[in-house]
Chains A and B, each alone.
Chain A
Amino acid sequence: MNARRLELVCPAGTPAALRAAIDAGADSVYCGFRDRTNARNYPGLNFDFAELVEGVAYAHARGRKVLVAINTFPPAGDLAPWRRAVDQAAEARVDAVILADIGVLAYATAAHPQLRRHLSVQASAANAPSIHYYRDHFDVRRVVLPRVLSIDELRALIAEAGVETEVFAFGSVGPMSEGRCFLSSYFCGVSPTSEGACAPAERVSYLERDGRVHSRLGEVTLNTFSPGEPAAYPTPCKGRYLTHGRATYLFEEPVALNALGILAELAEAGVTALKIEGRQRSRAYVTEVVGTFRRALDALQGETPAGAEPQQLRREGEGGRETLGAYRRGWR
């Protein structure tokens, strides 16, 4: 079967992960600077300018691309770090910047008109007028679509969008209010959209008590896991809350999106690129997930005989379970 070629966009939290992603078959790698200008601001993660320059050289030498996420929202009166990040990305000759805030978009458009701009999922543009606004005002060439659309909705939106589209194919899923979720800030006092970390590691702790793991965010226990039960990050949207005396997942369950089984449908719907989530994960994860998707995409192109089994990546995902999320809205 020869389907439309899908670009494989892969995460890199470190230069080693960037090289691992390229070596495993990524077409593009996205990364961020070591500060709050991107949505994965965790200790020891991300790139400084010199590392980014080296990463770009490594990718370009192999015909691949590097995209830089500068996708958080500057607080009032504090645009300087975001401007600096855009300037440094341009100076490092990256292939595109992934932006969300309209002020940052306006700055990038004015200061670096030749620098390709993608719209981050954090901007939460999920309808044609919204996408057209970013396209017409900031010459956005690609939009990363929020994880709220079914395949049919994707197909319809892509027909109207007038720009390239990138959709999530693997990784953690949120409560379907991308870029607009402040749940974590109620627990930590830190805004995930301007500080770049939902459930920042500084506020997360795990306790072992009576054979159970208790995961805590700030002073709040968000979940407990019995021995052997698959664990999850203590993000508020995936907490287990007591309602009517029963502990249950109210917003979202700890599951991982895995679109390996519907790649042909996504290609047919007109998607340009597939995004793998997980800049906070290690290079071993990057190698495993990117390699599996590369094999599946090559098989889809008819370049290799067999693709990957959809369940092959189950162990990599949060909670040890998978979902097709909104792509198959059986629950709607």
Chain B
Amino acid sequence: MRPSRAISRLPEGIATTEDRQDGATPLALLKILGIAMPRPAAAFAAKRLFESLGRGHPQLLANLAALEEREVHVLPAELPYGFALRTGPRPQLRVIGRGEGQADAAVEASAAVLTDLIEGRIDSDTLFFRRDLQVTGNTAAIVGLRNALDRETIRLGAEIAAALGPLGPLARRLAHSIEPALGRWELRARTLQRALSPPLRTSDPALTAEVERCRAEVAALTARLGRIEARQQRREERAP
């Protein structure tokens, strides 16, 4: 079986969807759901997916039910809509439009990053430190959800295919066939975006990150130098 491809920009050494050998293509499947499916169909698929996850991972449902009653919005950056996950006594997953509904907390990242997170292939704190994961609202709700997911081994590609029932194998084949095209299309879009951007534009994420890292480093060194100087001054004042 062919491994699926990663579309996200992840640092070297971090496992990505590229490493999969199980033939699952969760990212492409997710994008098919997001791009090709009208919202009612995607909502139906999400409902089926959650029911299927509950059957395959009863402990996941129990862990979600053990959490406080909260609504967390999970927002894949490239998709036109997101997912509202309700924790507490009656866990529930539904599709929502951007900015729709009242969330206790929200998590936003690329679909690839979110997929890897759900599958336990990447650490959410590392992503947060690097600012590849945007977190807002009630942190306890997000931490609880992350820990509930991290207890289970979930293969999202297989789960989505299972949730689609008889359409699953067809969707998988479709995902396999369009995945390289999706990757090429996204690469082209990024290249075009870069070409249209003026040189050294500060909104370039990599450059901005580098500049900010340098700024933080300089600020830290300045602070440290200040402390050393203050200490030295105190020492000199104390000296006879």
Contacts and interface: CB of A to CB of B under 8 A. Distances in A.
B226 interface: yes
A14 B144 CA distance: 12
B150 interface: yes
Interface string B206-240: 00111111011101101110111000000000000
A331 interface: yes
Given A44-B67, A312-B13, A283 B140 contact: no
Interface in A269-290: 280-285, 288
A331 B228 contact: yes
A205 B141 CA distance: 10
Contact of B151 (A16, A227, A249): A16
A281 to B, nearest CB: 6
B213 A320 contact: yes
Contact of B212 (A201, A228, A247): A228
Contacts of A248: 219, 222-223, 226
Given A43-B144, A317-B129, A282 B151 contact: no
Interface stretch (B44-52, B95-103, B120-128, B159-167): B120-128
Contact of B139 (A205, A232, A320): A205
Nearest to A255: B220
Contacts of A17: 150
B145 to A, nearest CB: 7
Interface stretch (B19-27, B130-138, B168-176, B188-196): B130-138
User: Max chain A CB contacts within 10 Å: which of B66, B137, B143?
Assistant: B143
A281 B125 contact: yes
B152 interface: yes
A16 B220 contact: no
Nearest to A253: B220
B136 A331 contact: no
B146 A282 contact: yes
Overall SS of chain A's interface = mixed
Contact of B131 (A207, A227, A288): A227
Give chain A's interface residue range (CB within 8 Å of chain B). Answer: 35 or more
B153 interface: yes
A87 interface: no
B67 A316 contact: no
Contacts of A206: 135-137, 139
Interface string A1-20: 00000000000011111000
A320 B215 CA distance: 13
A230 to B, nearest CB: 5
A208 interface: yes
A282 B144 contact: no
A315 B11 contact: yes
Nearest to A278: B125
A280 to B, nearest CB: 8
Interface in A185-226: 200-202, 204-208, 213, 225-226
Given A43-B143, A282-B146, A316-B123, A249 B220 contact: yes
Given A228-B131, A285-B125, A249 B223 contact: yes
A331 B11 CA distance: 32
A44 B209 contact: no
Contact of A231 (B128, B220, B224): B128
A43 B123 contact: no
Contact of A283 (B11, B144, B150, B217): B150
Contacts of B66: 44
Contact of A205 (B137, B148, B215): B137
Contacts of A213: 131, 134
Contacts of A226: 212, 215
Contacts of B153: 16
A284 B122 contact: yes
Interface string A231-264: 1100000000000000111000100000000000
A228 B208 contact: yes
A16 B217 CA distance: 36
A119 to B, nearest CB: 28
Interface string B48-90: 0000000000000001001110000000000000000000000
Nearest to B66: A44
B228 A16 contact: no
A201 B138 CA distance: 8
Contact of B146 (A44, A231, A331): A44
13 contacts: A13-B147, A14-B147, A16-B151, A43-B68, A44-B67, A44-B151, A202-B139, A205-B138, A227-B212, A283-B150, A284-B120, A319-B216, A331-B224
Closest 3 CB pairs of A and B: A44-B147, A228-B209, A43-B144
Interface of A: 13-17, 42-45, 200-202, 204-208, 213, 225-232, 247-249, 253, 280-285, 288, 312, 315-321, 331
Given A42-B147, A44-B63, A284-B121, 16 more contacts: A16-B150, A16-B153, A44-B144, A204-B139, A205-B139, A206-B137, A227-B205, A228-B211, A230-B129, A230-B216, A231-B128, A247-B219, A248-B219, A281-B125, A316-B126, A318-B129
